[in-house]
Amino acid sequence: MESLLANFLAKYNYWVYIGLVMIGMYAMIAKRNLVKKIIGMNIVQTAVILFYVSIGAKKGKTIPIIAHGHEDTGHHAVQALDYISPLPHVLMLTAIVVSVATLGVALALAIKIYRQYGTLEEDEIAMRIEDQ
Amino acid sequence: MSAHFPGLVIIIPLVAAFLILIGALLDRRLAFPLTALALLGSLLTAIGLLVKVLQTGVVEYHLAGWAPPVGIAYRVDHLNALVLVAVATVAFVNLMGTRELVKGLFDDRLGPFYTLYILLIAGLQGIVVTGDAFNLYVLLEIAALTGYALVGMSEGRAPLSSLNYIFIGTVGASLYLLGVGYLYLVTGTLNMADLAVRLPALYPSKVVVSAFVICLVGLCIKMGFFPMHAWLPNAYSHAPDPVSSLVAPLVTKVMIYVMIRMMLFVFTPAFAFDQMAISEPMVWLAIVAIVAGSFMALSTRRLKRMLTYIIVAEVGYMVGGFWLGNRLGISGAILHIVNDAIMTLCVFLSAAAIISKVGSDAIDDMQGLFKKMPVTMGVFVVAGLSIIGVPPTCGFFSKWYLISGAVAAGQYGFMAALLLSSLINLVLFFRIFEIAYFEPFHDHHGDHGHFVSAVQEAPFEMLVTLVVTAVLLFALGIYAGDIVSQIIDHAIPVGIT
Amino acid sequence: MDTLISVKPLIAVLVSLLAIPLIGFSRSPNVREGWTFLAAVIKFALVASMLPAVLQGKEIICQVVEVLPGLSLAFRVDAFGMLFALVASFLWIITSAYSIGYMRGLDEHAQTRYFCFFAVSLSAAIGVAFSANLLTMYLFYEMLSLATYPLVTHHQDEEARTSGRKYLLYTVGASIGLVLPAMLVTYHFTGNLDFSPQGVLAGTASRGTVALLLFMFVFGFAKAAVMPLHSWLPAAMVAPTPVSALLHAVAVVKVGVFSIVRVITGIFGTDLLQAFDLSTPLLFVASTTILVGSFIALSQDNLKRMLAFSTIAQLSYIVLGAAMLSPKGVTGGMVHIAMHAFGKITLFFCAGAIFVATGKKNISEMTGIGRRMPVTMTAFFIGALSIIGMPPCGGFLSKWTLVLGALEADQIAILAVLLFSSMLNAAYFMPVVYRAFFCPPEDALFEARVQEAPLFCVVPLTITAVISLVLLVYPQPFMQLAVMSAAKVTGL
Amino acid sequence: MRSLALITILLVGGLLFYGTPDFPAWGDPESPASLHVSPYYIEHAVEDTAVPNIVTAVLADYRGYDTMFETAVIFSAGIACLFLLRIYRRKSTTTRLYRHNLTGITLRIAKGGKLPEGSAEFERIDSLWVPYDMIIKVTSRLVVPFVQLFALYVIAHGHHSPGGGFQGGVIFGAAIILYAISNDLRRAFRRLNEKAALLASAVGVLLYAGTGLLCLLLGGNFLDYSKLADLLHTDAIMARSHGILIVEIGVGLAVMAVMVSLYYNLSSAGRHDEGL
């Protein structure tokens, strides 16, 4: 039991990210308001970011910036174990940018839709389309 | 120089994108020639690359000079060389054909339009050549973003469908990204070849299994495979004509390519076909996709919508053909990627020409078009025959491979589905031909703003491109045998029989 | 068996395709039809020029391009193909002449389109005749179906539309739905689709599979109008008469039966069918078609529809002959292709001529017309005799051979079918002739001072009539070709 | 809809849940992910590129190609918003509204007449009353330069501390956006107008891609900065370091410009009037 619990706690932020993905997807499907859907989309993307960053983490290690890097590093060799893994952070920098970009385009489209139908509620938009 | 082809294929359009924008700020008439130049260059590079691959085999390119897995590497083999040429061709031909339409639609924003257009192409070509799983995601997103924008830029329901496209597409891409993350978690690398080396030891791990499923689901969403197809018809049918004639042929096909790439060269066939044992259900899903797509196509009276439903069915062709898991089926799927790209381009281009002249995309408004625009309709007929699968057009031969793959795999259900959809396509297209051929031309004045009695042939360059695509359909058909024996056979791992 | 390589077959197929731009863009009707004639004559000359070689038992081979690994677009001219090609290409010349008369007589619209697609259909027909493997044959078969669609629906009215639909649905639908899968399954079993005298399927598939494939092929080639897939043929009679004449007496339907015979002899092989004894069900299907077709023909008043049903019945003679799997039977079937072609085209020409001259379509209105149009009706009489299979006409020869074949295969039932159906043929043809010659003409005909149709109509039908007379006394080269190929395929 | 949503998320959740038990524990330094490639970066970044900040090194050099497309993504987002939203045709307003800043009086000027755009005491407004607060304007005007300065620092110091082109660019863009919010778009345009922003974004990415192309022309692979050594009169390693700096600047420029033009188009729905 304890081992199970320990095992569970050892991965808690993976559980968190799963929860976030589910929340975001729920919002994207169940909500009828376009902006809420967009927010849901962002939650999903953030969850992925959380997942990646968790991969890179190492308990009790420091950020991947070599101490005294600007001096000659020949004296003390760099130990990979002392620094958390940089790659996931790099990847997530990209992912963040992507999600920002997606958000921008999505908002632009939302504005266009609002211009056209005067609402962002899917049901009302559907009614407007019926009317035309 | 030829050593740099893999890089240049992407870099030329990418760099051109910014120059186009700057040029358009000076004078927006510069946008088109610059784009044409860049795409032509990238097309020639792609062909050169294909030739190089045929001569010397796989071509590697280490970006920033770092060898994989540390750096990002391009790895061009027969498979992506072939698809690359197809993509570049479609992009260039469509650009040439739709010039007038684009001028008519976006005269005040030519610069942004062509910038997005060429960025989309850069993204797609990058997806095709890249050998790095994460780099693929970035390129996926660049292609997707530009696609959303292009699709959304039209009146009517386009923005709404484009927004839904964003939602679905983002979920798909995020799932793919997650899958890659899972793989990274257990292997610590992102390079496809390196993954393929390190994965087999880990096949028992649940992480790999779920990574496989997540990737597959994400890609299926992106390619509009049957249960997740809902976004596709809306997005493609409401998009502006010159855009749908670009997006419809390329995006889904490239996604299918990605699936094949991941399944064959990251998860090896041994894993994808034997251990996971999902071939059977996938093929059945494909059958459902084909049947459903065909019947949905029957149910609509709008030209572009009908064509998009046909795409849903065609996706079923390729996915099903791939999951047959034997050489014939996979060759059929790959061949159909190329053929269907050209077919869809041809049919959407002619549809664009028709719609722009008739002013409506209702099938019933197409009366008497054979008299009014004979060339366009002729090309449309050829494209239709190719989609139906009449020899010697290329559609017949890919269908041939798919069906014989089905026979070899004993999947007679798949064979039946293919034949059924051919028959339904026959009905679909001859329904249109009848209206355009029998019904006397009567013009509905004022309706759709302009006098339809003024309907005449499409602009010249459009006709030229239409004819070129039609000829391509025949050429691909005649040389199907060579394409398969020279290129596709080398693209498929030897293990598969 | 020595073969010689030559591009002649390819050219023979392409010549009419190449003529299309000339036909299409020619200024005046005369130029246009001039081109048509030229193309037709060249085509016939090419086909004929290959005849001597074939008669010496040679085969002419021409491989165009390998479209699929081990499977190429290729032509092979053998006796049987030569027989059919001769008939088709020769009758094209005649029909072109006839259509000039007909189309101008009724000044039809869109004549250019008509001549263009006519040329396409012809090259498709020759392509089928010369194809060396099933794939090539399928290609030209589909091409023919699609090229004839605009011809069948030439009038572009509601009736044409519905029958056009029916036509496509039956021919293309069946070929995609049945032939294509059957072809692929065969390919899966055998790995090649070349027609070979002993067939390629032998020893690869079980009896059940072979039976299934056989019927997929027989019904799949719906152009042969084997019941129950026959009803497109009467519907297609809305087409202008020359179309019905050439396509529905010669090209289209004969392509159908030709394909069936080809597949039976070239893919399955008579021995295989013998071994699995699959000839009986085939014979049964064929005989039913013969009898039912003839019965329906009895009840028709519209002349062209009657001819259509008689065609349905006659086509099954050919299937029947092939299904007997005996040398004589096969010979009879093959020869019947030629005999029936000349006979039936004569009849259609007559029907057309009557329509041009009087505008009449129904038999009941043709009372006494023989006195007004003696030449036409005499020709009609000869054609009828030929179809019934009575001397002094070529039809007798083919039927006689069939009967011999039936005896050889000691199928007494078949013998009965043959004789009975001949009686039926007489029963529906003779009244027309009688009514035409021996009944007093209607007043309508007097008022409209009817005389013979234009020369362009009369001459061709006279020629065909004469030929079908001549064929009895001098059935060469058709007989010889048929005997040769029958001997080859039955291996006796 | 809700039921569908529930089913979907349960499926997805189950799918994600299924794999997790086999994950290595969180923060485990021995996890396979941390043993294959990333150690190489940590141990060689400095000697390869002379950049202590490994993230920067990986971002702009080892995986610099990703980053270039990342910038292209941002760029295309900016272009996309412009493409979707921008309204070019000016609707000819019969009257223009101006506010006298000192008194807060609104003047309606009939057709034809117009006040000088640049004047200090009058500003053009679109609706009769637009919120207007001296304090906000003044404070933000004070803040903006410092923010911009900090942005430059973040870009320049990306080699040695957290930061780099993206972060700096965003901060710089934020400064301009702050200015635009506290005043209005028209004033912001006077500082950085639409065309300039577009140009800057294009030039920024072009700076990145161009550097890569330059390396290619100098005989290296695309983006192989070490080939710049002769140009910069340094050794290959320092050349990489400098190359990273150059592309970071390009990224910063592009991100800044795109952020601003995104704001321009979104806040005014493409009309480019006074905005929010």
Contact between residue C452 and residue C101 where contact means Cβ atoms under 8 Å apart: no
Question: How far, in Å, CA of B297 to CA of C5, rounded?
Answer: 48
Q: How confident is the model at residue C442 (pLDDT cuts 50, 70, 90)?
A: low
Q: How confident is the model at residue B447 (pLDDT cuts 50, 70, 90)?
A: very low
Contact between residue C250 and residue C88 where contact means Cβ atoms under 8 Å apart: yes
The predicted complex's ipTM stands at: 0.88
Q: How far is CA C437 from its chain centroid?
A: 29
- CA-nearest residue to B424 within chain C is C173
The percentage of chain C sitting over the pLDDT mark of 90, rounded to a whole number, equals 1
Question: How far, in Å, CA of B313 to CA of A94, rounded?
Answer: 35
Residue of D152, D118, D154, D156 lying closest to D241 (CA atoms): D156
Mean pLDDT of C424-433: 85
- Reply yes or no on whether the pLDDT at B404 is more than 70: yes
For D37, the closest of B108, B142, B189 (CB atoms) is: B189
Q: Mutate which of D83, D227, D240 to test chain B, going by most B C-beta atoms within 10 A?
A: D83
Look at residue B164 in the predicted model and tell me its pLDDT.
92
From residue D228, give the alpha-carbon distance in Å to each of B15, D207, D212, D231, D232.
19, 14, 10, 5, 6
- Reply yes or no on whether the pLDDT at B416 is more than 70: yes
Q: How far is CA B9 from its chain centroid?
A: 18
Average pLDDT value over all residues in chain A:
86
* Boundaries of domain holding C319: 3-490
Tokens of D148: 């911009």
Q: Phi/psi at B191 (nearest 5 deg)? A: -80, 135
**Pairwise pLDDT comparison (B441 vs B150), residue with the higher score:** B150
- CA-nearest residue to A30 within chain D is D2
Instruction: Identify whether A70 is part of a domain.
Output: no
Q: Chain C residues with CB inside 8 Å of B480's CB?
A: 67-68
How many domains, chain C?
Answer: 1
Query: Does D32 sit within 8 Å of B188, measured CB to CB?
Result: yes
Look at residue D93 in the predicted model and tell me its pLDDT.
63
Query: Does D73 sit within 8 Å of A57, measured CB to CB?
Result: no
Q: Mutate which of A97, A113, A122, A123 to test chain D, going by most D C-beta atoms within 10 A?
A: A97
Q: How confident is the model at residue C306 (pLDDT cuts 50, 70, 90)?
A: confident
**Pairwise pLDDT comparison (C377 vs A23), residue with the higher score:** A23
Residue B447 CB partners (closer than 8 Å, separation 6+)? B359, B360
Contact between residue B172 and residue D12 where contact means Cβ atoms under 8 Å apart: no
Amino acid at B12: I
Query: Does C66 sit within 8 Å of B407, measured CB to CB?
Result: no
What number of CA atoms fall less than 13 Å from residue B480's CA on the CB side? 32
pLDDT digits 0-9 by tens, C100-139: 777 776 777 777 888 888 888 888 888 998 888 888 999 9
Does the N-terminal peptide bond of residue B440 adopt cis geometry, omega within 30 degrees of 0? no
Sign of the dihedral through C-alpha A27, A32, A35, A38: positive
Look at residue D174 in the predicted model and tell me its pLDDT.
94
Domain boundaries, chain B: 278-497
Mean pLDDT of B469-489: 90
- Reply yes or no on whether the pLDDT at B316 is more than 80: yes
- Reply yes or no on whether the pLDDT at B290 is more than 50: yes
Residue of D206, D199, D258, D253 lying closest to D78 (CA atoms): D258
Residue of B229, B248, B220 lying closest to B340 (CA atoms): B248
The two most distant CA atoms of chain D are separated, in Å, by 75
For A113, the closest of B138, B159, B178 (CB atoms) is: B159
Tokens of B70: 């540390």
Question: How far, in Å, CA of B395 to CA of B402, rounded?
Answer: 11
Query: Does D55 sit within 8 Å of A65, measured CB to CB?
Result: yes
CATH number at residue A44: 1.10.287.3510
Look at residue C445 in the predicted model and tell me its pLDDT.
56
Alpha helices in C157-200 (DSSP H): 158-174, 180-190
Q: How confident is the model at residue B356 (pLDDT cuts 50, 70, 90)?
A: confident
- Reply yes or no on whether the pLDDT at B427 is more than 80: yes
- Min Cα distance D149 → chain A (Å) is 23
Judged by 3 or more CB pairs under 8 A, whether B touches D is: yes
Q: How confident is the model at residue D219 (pLDDT cuts 50, 70, 90)?
A: confident
Query: Does B419 sit within 8 Å of C181, measured CB to CB?
Result: yes
Tokens of D204: 């920024």
Q: How confident is the model at residue B220 (pLDDT cuts 50, 70, 90)?
A: very high
pLDDT digits 0-9 by tens, D189-214: 888 888 899 999 999 999 999 999 99
Look at residue C446 in the predicted model and tell me its pLDDT.
52
* Boundaries of domain holding A112: 2-63+77-131
Q: How confident is the model at residue D118 (pLDDT cuts 50, 70, 90)?
A: low
Residue B137: CB atoms within 10 A of its CB come to 27
Query: Does B426 sit within 8 Å of C161, measured CB to CB?
Result: no
Q: Is B373 on the interface with D (CB under 8 A)?
A: no
pLDDT digits 0-9 by tens, C29-55: 778 888 888 888 888 888 888 888 888
Look at residue C363 in the predicted model and tell me its pLDDT.
79
How many domains, chain A?
Answer: 1
Tokens of B448: 């759709």
Look at residue B14 in the predicted model and tell me its pLDDT.
93
Contact between residue D81 and residue A119 where contact means Cβ atoms under 8 Å apart: no
Look at residue B455 in the predicted model and tell me its pLDDT.
64
pLDDT digits 0-9 by tens, D21-49: 888 888 888 888 888 888 889 888 888 88
Residue C289 CB partners (closer than 8 Å, separation 6+)? C225, C226, C227, C230, C312, C313, C315, C316, C319
Judged by 3 or more CB pairs under 8 A, whether A touches B is: yes
Question: How far, in Å, CA of C25 to CA of C31, rounded?
Answer: 10
Question: How far, in Å, CA of D178 to CA of D70, rounded?
Answer: 25
Judged by 3 or more CB pairs under 8 A, whether C touches D is: no
Question: How far, in Å, CA of D198 to CA of D190, rounded?
Answer: 15
Residue D114: CB atoms within 10 A of its CB come to 10
Lowest mean pLDDT among B262-266, B457-461, D48-52: B457-461
- Min Cα distance B127 → chain D (Å) is 12
Mean pLDDT of B277-284: 90
Query: Does B171 sit within 8 Å of A105, measured CB to CB?
Result: no
Look at residue D90 in the predicted model and tell me its pLDDT.
64
pLDDT digits 0-9 by tens, D158-188: 888 888 889 999 999 999 999 998 888 888 8
Q: Is D166 on the interface with A (CB under 8 A)?
A: yes
Query: Does A106 sit within 8 Å of B163, measured CB to CB?
Result: yes
Residue of D116, D66, D85 lying closest to B141 (CA atoms): D66
Query: Does D24 sit within 8 Å of B18, measured CB to CB?
Result: no
From residue B475, give the alpha-carbon distance in Å to each of B42, B339, C242, C411.
22, 10, 34, 51
Q: Chain D residues with CB inside 8 Å of A80's CB?
A: 34, 38-39, 42-43
Mean pLDDT of B457-478: 90
User: Taking the model in full, what pTM does it have?
Assistant: 0.91
Q: In what order do the strands lie in the sheet with C71-77?
A: C3-5, C59-68, C71-77
Contact between residue B159 and residue A116 where contact means Cβ atoms under 8 Å apart: yes
Residues found in chain B: 497
Query: Does A37 sit within 8 Å of B138, measured CB to CB?
Result: no
- Reply yes or no on whether the pLDDT at B445 is more than 80: no
Judged by 3 or more CB pairs under 8 A, whether C touches B is: yes
For A90, the closest of D25, D59, D78 (CB atoms) is: D59
The percentage of chain B sitting over the pLDDT mark of 90, rounded to a whole number, equals 61
Q: How confident is the model at residue B442 (pLDDT cuts 50, 70, 90)?
A: low
Mean pLDDT of B444-449: 46
DSSP state string for B399-450: HHHHHHHHHHHT-HHHHHHHHHHHHHHHHHHHHHHHHHHHSPP---SSTTSS
Look at residue A106 in the predicted model and tell me its pLDDT.
94
Residue whose tokens read 């890569």 = D212
Chains in contact with chain B (at least 3 beta-carbon pairs closer than 8 A): A, C, D
Distance between first and last Cα of chain A? 62
Query: Does B404 sit within 8 Å of C188, measured CB to CB?
Result: yes
- Min Cα distance B368 → chain D (Å) is 36
Tokens of C228: 């129950």
Look at residue B452 in the predicted model and tell me its pLDDT.
45
Question: How far, in Å, CA of D107 to CA of D99, rounded?
Answer: 6
Residue A62: CB atoms within 10 A of its CB come to 11
Q: Is A116 on the interface with D (CB under 8 A)?
A: no
Look at residue B113 in the predicted model and tell me its pLDDT.
93
**Pairwise pLDDT comparison (C70 vs C461), residue with the higher score:** C461
- Reply yes or no on whether the pLDDT at C419 is more than 80: yes
D182 three-state secondary structure: helix
**Pairwise pLDDT comparison (C181 vs D183), residue with the higher score:** C181
Look at residue D125 in the predicted model and tell me its pLDDT.
78
Amino acid at C250: V
Question: How far, in Å, CA of B191 to CA of B497, rounded?
Answer: 27
Q: How confident is the model at residue B451 (pLDDT cuts 50, 70, 90)?
A: very low
Residues found in chain D: 276
Amino acid at A78: V
What number of CA atoms fall less than 13 Å from residue D76's CA on the CB side? 35
pLDDT digits 0-9 by tens, B13-35: 999 999 999 999 888 888 999 99
- Reply yes or no on whether the pLDDT at C252 is more than 50: yes
pLDDT digits 0-9 by tens, B160-191: 999 999 999 999 999 999 999 999 999 989 99
For D66, the closest of A32, A94, A104 (CB atoms) is: A94
- CA-nearest residue to C166 within chain B is B427
Lowest mean pLDDT among A102-111, B274-283, C336-345, D114-123: D114-123
